[in-house]
């Protein structure tokens, strides 16, 4: 480019020089003419000169030539001077421009050099950047891999969280988790039902707002206080039984949660409903108390009569025999009671030995009636029993079925006021392939809400407890023997103040049943 620029300049100077050259040549010609004329004039002194001069003197053209030549010479001189000057200036200009070009070239060269150095710097920088980019790429690659791993871990953690939540939500016990500011972090459905709040949308709400009872459920308020006290006292784990309204008792276990710095970051409470357990425990306590009372009663008779005999209080042989008889009957009574307790336990555990044989229910009933007849007569209760119509009706254990009949009959007598009646019926339903026994009394009856529980172990009808003593085992034993051992069914119907009908059904002793058992 520089060369082009210089070339252009030199070309322009050259063009001008060529133009000037034409002028110069023209000038020279003109000057030559003048000089020739002049020379002719000067040579006039010579013959030839004078002939030339004569021509000149003689021709105006020659004069013109003299003039033109003179002008030309002057002009040429002037032009040459100018040209020289111009040439000089051109030369100076050329020189200057050459110098300028050189400067420009040098400048350009230096610029090129600078640019080259810059380019090399840029190249180096580019290389460095490329290297850095490469290193960053590897770092980015590692970061992307780490991000991927973290995302996988986040997914796993979220899945674990969901699994844990699902487990906690499915727990039957109420679970509540609060933070260090007593705000709810998590609760399951059981907690929501117990405290009547939406467990899924109540996060971060103060626990006392969610649980506090305005209706005055002291249990709920006590629970909130218990949570707060546990957190403030920083106990690792503590428990308390709290009773809520509706006579429901909960075993509340509260544990503080600590972070890595040892600071409390939350409290976990698990509420286990122990209402039924307490009821069972109370029933067991009542049973033990009742059983001990029942056992002590015949024992008291045995002990008292024995002492009377030892002290000689029986005045004659008849009285002594009477005392011996009482001792014996009470001992048998004691034995029966213990057997009832043991049989119930054995049947429930499946350890009892069953000896089945074909037997007649009607005959069994007749036999057991003789045993409770005197008891019924004391209370002036009439007993109406059907005559047996079918023999070998069922295939069952005789002692067990006898026990069933005795229990049902003695209950009927026990809970029927004096002057009442008891009716015993047996029937065979060949369509249903069963034999049925029903014992209907005119006793105190059973309230409707208690009928479903009369066959439960240790259960005694509350309203009837004052009517007669009992262990609460008799009907349970009946149910166990009939249903669990003999695949039968027990039933009851009752009306308070009118009477009750207790009964049972047993499969008929068909040939197939006998062969299957044998």
Partner 1 sequence: MAEKKVLVVDDEIHIVYVAAIKLRNNGYEVVTATNGAEAFELACAEKPDIIVTDFQMPVMTGLEFVEKIRQNEETKDIPVILLTARSFAISKEQEQDLQISGCLSKPFSPRELLENIEDILYQRAVVNREA
Q: Which range of residues in 38-46, 251-259, 266-274, 295-303 is near partner 1 by CB under 8 A?
A: 295-303
Rounded to an integer, what distance in angstroms lies between the CA atom of residue 68 and that of residue 290? 171
Q: Which of 296, 321, 336, 484 binds partner 1 (CB under 8 A)?
A: 296
Nearest distance in Å: CB 455, partner 1: 22
Distance (Å, whole) CA 56 – CA 51:
9
Q: Least distance in Å: CB of 291 to partner 1?
A: 10
* Residue 301 Cβ vs partner 1, minimum distance, rounded to whole Å: 4
Task: Please tell me the count of residues contacting partner 1 according to CB under 8 A.
Answer: 24
CB-based contact 291:471 (threshold 8 Å): yes
Distance CA 472, CA 283 (A): 10
End-to-end CA distance of the chain: 127
Q: CB-wise, 67 or 300, nearer to partner 1?
A: 300
Residue 503 Rama label (left phi>0; alpha psi -120 to 50; beta): beta
Decide: residue 486, CB within 10 A, 0-12 exposed, 13-18 middle, 19+ buried: buried
Query: Can you spell out the DSSP letters for 420-475?
Result: -EEEEEEEEETTTTEEEEEEEE-S----HHHHTTTTSTT---GGGTTT----S-HH
Alpha helices in 249-274 (DSSP H): none
CA distance 119 to 127: 12
The β-bridge partners of 381 are none
Residue 113 phi, psi dihedral angles, 5° rounding: -60, -45
Among 44, 308, 385, 390, the residue binding partner 1 under the rule CB under 8 A is 308
Residue 477: name the closest of 356, 336, 360 by CA.
336
Task: Give the nearer residue to partner 1 in terms of CB position, either 265 or 288.
Answer: 288
Tell me how far apart the alpha carbons of residues 342 and 352 are, in angstroms, rounded to a whole number: 10
In terms of CB distance, is 151 or 292 closer to partner 1?
Answer: 292
Closer to partner 1 by Cβ: residue 179 or 294:
294
Sketch the per residue contact string, 428 through 467, with partner 1: x for CB under 8 A, - otherwise.
Answer: --------------------------------------xx
Is 32 or 325 the residue whose CB approaches partner 1 more closely?
325
Q: Judged by CB under 8 A, does residue 330 bind partner 1?
A: yes
Q: Which stretch binds partner 1 (CB under 8 A): 54-62, 145-153, 297-305, 501-509?
A: 297-305
Question: Based on CB atoms, which residue is closest to partner 1, 257 or 331?
Answer: 331
Q: Between 70 and 299, name the residue whose CB sits nearer to partner 1.
A: 299
Q: Judged by CB under 8 A, which of 257, 264, 274, 326 binds partner 1?
A: 326
The DSSP secondary structure of 349-362, one letter per residue, reads HT-----EEEE-HH
315 vs 353, beta carbon nearer partner 1: 315
Site string for partner 1, 275-294 (x = CB under 8 A): --------------x--xx-
Min. distance of Cβ 341 from partner 1 in angstroms? 16
If binding is defined by CB under 8 A, does position 302 make contact with partner 1? yes
Q: Residues interacting with partner 1, by CB under 8 A?
A: 289, 292-293, 296-297, 299-305, 307-308, 311, 313, 315, 319, 326, 330, 466-469
């Amino acid at each position: 480019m520089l060369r082009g620029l210089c070339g252009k300049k030199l070309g322009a100077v050259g063009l001008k020089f060529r133009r000037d050259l034409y002028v110069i040549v023209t000038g020279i010609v003109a000057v030559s003419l003048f000089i020739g004329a002049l020379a002719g004039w000067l040579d006039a002194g010579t013959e030839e000169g004078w002939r030339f001069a004569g021509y000149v003197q003689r021709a105006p053209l020659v004069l013109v030539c003299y003039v033109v030549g003179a002008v030309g010479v002057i002009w040429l001189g002037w032009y040459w001077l100018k040209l020289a000057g111009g040439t000089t200036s051109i030369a100076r200009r050329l020189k200057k421009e050459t110098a300028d070009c050189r400067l420009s070239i040098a400048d350009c060269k230096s610029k090129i050099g600078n640019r080259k150095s810059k380019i090399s710097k840029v190249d180096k920088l580019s290389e460095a950047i490329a290297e850095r980019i490469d290193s960053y790429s590897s770092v980015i690659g590692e970061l992307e891999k780490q991000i991927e791993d973290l995302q996988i871990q986040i997914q796993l953690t979220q899945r674990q969280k969901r699994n844990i939540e699902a487990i906690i939500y499915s727990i039957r016990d109420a679970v509540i988790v609060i933070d260090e500011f007593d705000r709810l972090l998590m609760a399951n459905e059981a907690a929501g039902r117990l405290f009547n709040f939406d467990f899924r949308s109540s996060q971060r709400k103060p626990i006392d707002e969610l649980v506090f009872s305005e209706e005055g459920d002291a249990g709920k308020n006590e629970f909130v206080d218990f949570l707060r006290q546990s957190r403030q006292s920083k106990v690792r784990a503590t428990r308390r039984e709290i009773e809520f309204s509706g006579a429901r008792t909960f075993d509340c276990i509260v544990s503080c949660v600590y972070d890595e710095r040892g600071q409390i970051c939350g409290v976990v409470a698990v509420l286990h409903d122990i209402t039924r357990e307490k009821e069972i425990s109370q029933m067991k306590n009542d049973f033990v108390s009742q059983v001990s009372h029942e056992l002590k009663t015949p024992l008291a008779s045995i002990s008292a009569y024995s002492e009377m005999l030892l002290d000689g209080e029986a005045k004659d042989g008849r009285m002594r025999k009477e005392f011996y008889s009482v001792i014996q009957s009470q001992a048998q009574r004691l034995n029966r009671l213990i057997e009832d307790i043991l049989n119930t336990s054995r049947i429930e555990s499946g350890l009892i030995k069953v000896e089945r044989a074909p037997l007649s229910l009607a005959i069994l009933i007749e036999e057991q009636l003789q045993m409770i007849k005197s008891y019924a007569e004391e209370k002036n209760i009439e007993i109406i029993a059907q005559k047996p119509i079918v023999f070998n009706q069922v295939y069952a254990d005789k002692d067990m079925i006898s026990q069933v009949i005795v229990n049902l009959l003695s209950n009927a007598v026990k809970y029927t006021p004096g002057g009442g009646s008891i009716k015993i019926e047996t029937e065979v339903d060949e369509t249903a392939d069963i034999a049925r026994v029903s014992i209907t009394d005119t006793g105190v009856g059973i309230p409707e809400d208690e009928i479903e529980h009369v066959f439960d172990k240790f259960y005694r009808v509350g309203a009837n407890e004052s009517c007669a003593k009992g262990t609460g085992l008799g009907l349970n034993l009946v149910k166990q023997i009939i249903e669990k051992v003999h695949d039968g069914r027990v039933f009851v119907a009752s009306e308070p103040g009118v009477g009750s009908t207790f009964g049972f059904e047993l499969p008929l002793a068909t040939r197939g049943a006998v062969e299957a058992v044998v």
